[in-house]
Structure 1
Amino acid sequence: MKNIFLLVVGVLFCNVSFSQIIYEEFNSTRLDQSRRLKIQLPRNYDTNVDKKYPIVLVLDADYLFEPVAGNVDYFSYWEDMPESIVVGVMQGDSRYFDCAYDDQTFFPDDKGSRFFEFIGLELIPYIDKKYRTAKFIIGVGHDFTANFLNYYLFKDPPLLNGYINLSPDLAPMMEQRLVERIPQVQQKIFYYLATGTDDIKGLMESAEELNKNLSPLKSNSFSYYYDNFEGATHYSLGGRGIPNALEKIFSVYRPISKKEYSEVLLKLKTPVSQYLLDKYKVIEDLFGITNNIRVNDFIATATASEKLKQWESLREIATLAKKQYSETVLGDYYLGRYYEETGEPKKAMKIFQGAFDKQEVDFITIDILLDRADKIKRDFGY
């Protein structure tokens, strides 16, 4: 009986803590038919009522949705990318009509144009209205649908901020058009291209040629990534390309790593506190989301400030930590350290003592704070 009870509790816990998958029928006036959608909402979407989320749009959702949704959930769980709403469009054999282009202009033909408008004028506005979305959209496509995503680059401004092209089956002139168009785009664009050594030969050669043409493009608004996976086939490359694409596109979002700490923070000639503020301003500007600074990043930048003896940076970091994590010892510890190092031990002692009833964070325990306060009291006879 006890085991049955634990099993029931476990099932209920899983239902609460894992991402929600929603299936919907969307009636499109542009397509004059309904389309089946798969939508994955982030964990705890219903409880984080003030939080907004980027969109990951998945074409060919019949087989691409699960690998994309699984990777989004995994990366966001470890804070390597922001939690996101994954929207998949089921296409089946209609993908060939959805992504069709004119034989002369090589832009979407009548059916392709209607699908183009369905995504931009119906589906995305619907998702924006129904869910709490940030103004950042990534599209994911494979061969025909990967080529189709590129047409959104020719909108002004482009509908998508990120493009994950898995073995694209490029329309004629697409390579030349992309090279001409991308430098004209003002907004920040992330572009990922993947093929494999065992991909369909013509598609692999086309991807290699496109890579050759895109690689020289230098622009602050264009971030480009390319992979040619050894031994990957036309279908297996998706399993390797999707996580690589998400990792690269969201690299700036990740917590400060040991490498970033040692190779960047400890070599700064400018205030460490400004580096921290700039990092989160970039996240806000790029992804349209405003998050509290992570505890990990507070600790990394505060520690670097101590190492570099940037005491004013330490004070600014501590003040911000006290504001964002007022219930914890985080800000009090580093503010106390600031006063210790700037010749005001009595203030430091009072701050350490005053945090005795707050929550501990990482290595910063109540015992450490009280030990520091006691040492100041002994050394200075307070």
Structure 2
Amino acid sequence: MKLINLILLFILIVQGNVYAADNINIAQSFEIDSKILQQKRTILVSLPTGYEANKARYPVIYMLDGLIAISHAVGARDVLVKSANIPPTIIVGIKSEDRMMDFTPSSIELYKSSGGADKFIRFIELELIPLINAKFRTNTFKALEGHSMAGLFTAHALIKSPDLFDAYIITSPELGWNKDEINEKLKLFLTSSQPLQKDLYFAVGEQESSMIKDQLSQFVSEIKNSSSNKMRIKHDIFEDESHMSVPLLANYHALKFIFSDLRLPTDIIENYSDEKFLAHEASMSKKYGELARQELKVYIPLALGLMKQQQYQSAVNVFKRLVQTYKVDNDHPQNYAWLASAHDKNGNKQAALKNYKIALQKAVDIGFMREALFRTKVTELTAELGLAK
């Protein structure tokens, strides 16, 4: 067990260095000349680690106030991807120009440009999303995130275009806009729409005004108490956080919540069956992309435990998932050696030899301590199969 822990630690260290570089650029930017908005808008896009090294498709998080929000969002995304709490995702930040125009659902006299939210939804739906889908490898899963006035817009988008996104992240929203009109729209929406299966995450800082906190609580309660509610909902109140500090924590916890179904259920781990395991992994791959995965500390102990129980085909299935899902950012020789060992025990000597050869070459490339062992395994299997050296 000590050796396994040492190997796992080495794998994690290597994982952190695979894409080391001198220059760090968290996002690319470009302009979109919007016919709907009749102006150019700056768009920021952060691609996940390893994007260029594969052909996988990715979920997309659309962030309002993107110029401000994207830096902390990218950091949260990268930490959560490395820990397999979320799948690798593309983050799209939309730079704000006139927040009162873009994010408000109705016009009021005090702000002459207000009331452009519906137009902004059309811009996102008809121009931005198709462009992102054309320029980048996206899958169908999309989330929208907004804070403050952008939180108001996100709540409005949920009501106005509920099918546009799979998840909505609403942080410290200004729901009191135009005499709390959005609450009446919400009530009408909940009584007239079909049940929706969406993920809704709400957050507010404990130090924010009572008005913002109360308005959000009322909004969330309306949804939870609706007879048509089929949505997964979480509402966090962060202690010692204010209106301007809460977005960082909210983004992190929102992503963990939205993608929480990715985790392998405890029941499958404790009462393993190939059918349940493969069905869960296939479902998550279909929903979140082929690189959606479990933590190393889930796959490896599970597969080694199956080996100990002499369930070798099951161990092969789990180790295959390990190799497939960590190929982009942690293509470690030990992963292939474990898979080779499972194949060997399961009687598939050809597959075992193939994977030991891969493990050996990768061990040579990085100077891994088990190179000699892998070389011995290759020699033994080559002789056993009667193949030329």
Match of 2:99 among 91, 95, 100: 95
| Partner residue, 2:45 | 39
Partner of 1:380: none
* 1:14 counterpart letter in structure 2: D
The C-alpha deviation readout for 1:273-305, integer Å capped at 9, x for no partner, is 223212222212322x12386693543432343
Aligned position for 2:118 = 113
Residue 130 of structure 1, aligned match among 113, 130, 135:
135
The residue that corresponds to 1:176 in the other structure is 187
1:21 counterpart (27, 30, 44):
27
Give the Cα–Cα distance (whole angstroms) in 2 for the partners of residues 205 and 115 of structure 1.
27
The code of the aligned residue for 1:190 comes to: D
What SS is found at the alignment partner of 2:37? coil
SS at match of 1:121: helix
Shift of residue 308 of structure 1?
A: 5.8
Aligned to 1:226: 235
1:148–1:351 distance in 2 versus 1, CA, 3 Å: closer
Query: How far apart are 1:158 and its partner, in Å?
Result: 1.0
Q: Over residues 154-205 of structure 1, what are the superposed CA-to-partner deviations in whole Å (9 max), with x where a residue is unaligned?
A: 46661111111001222232442464477622xx421100012211211101
Q: Secondary structure of 1:126's partner? A: helix
How far apart are the structure 2 equivalents of 1:366 and 1:177? 69
Name the CA distance, whole Å, in 2 between partners of 1:125 and 1:350: 45
Deviations along 1:318-376, one digit per CA (max 9) or x if unpaired, are: 67779998982232212333x4xxxxxxx5899878865441699998749969x99xx
Q: 1:70 aligns with which of 75, 80, 91?
A: 75
- State the match for 1:290 in structure 2: 290
**Greater RCO structure (CA 8 Å; 6+ sep):** 2
**RMSD between superposed Cα atoms in Å:** 3.9
TM-score (norm 1): 0.73
Match of 2:342 among 315, 328, 334: 334
- C-alpha contact (below 8 Å) 1:42/1:73 kept by paired residues: yes
CA contact (8 A) 2:312 2:342 kept: no
Q: Deviations over 1:232-275 (max 9, x none)?
A: 21111112111111111122335x6xxx6xx434531xx53223
Preserved CA contact (<8 Å) 2:62 2:92: yes
1:247 to 1:128, Cα distance in 2 relative to 1, 3 A: same
* 1:116 Cα deviation from its structure 2 partner: 1.5
Change (3 A) 1:159 1:332: same
**Aligned equivalents of 2:295, 2:102: Cα separation in 1:** 46
Q: Does the aligned pair in 2 maintain the 1:272–1:304 contact within 8 Å?
A: no
Residue in structure 2 matched with residue 7 of structure 1 by the alignment: none
SS at 2:291 equivalent:
coil
Number of the residue aligned with 1:5 = none
Matched, 1:150 2:155: yes
**Unaligned residue ranges in structure 1 (runs of 5+):** 1-11, 340-346, 375-382
- TM-score normalised by L of structure 2: 0.72
The alpha-carbon distance between structure 1 residues 51 and 318, as it changes in their structure 2 partners (threshold 3 A), is closer
Q: Structure 1 267/81 Cα, relative in aligned 2: closer, same or farther at 3 Å?
A: closer
Kindly indicate whether the alpha-carbon contact (under 8 Å) linking 1:355 and 1:366 is maintained by their aligned counterparts in 2. Answer: no
Moved more, 230-239 or 321-330: 321-330
- Residues 26, 349 of structure 1: CA spacing in aligned structure 2 closer, same or farther, 3 A cutoff? closer
Structure 2: gaps spanning 5 or more residues: 1-19, 109-113, 176-181, 381-389
**Number of aligned positions between the proteins:** 336
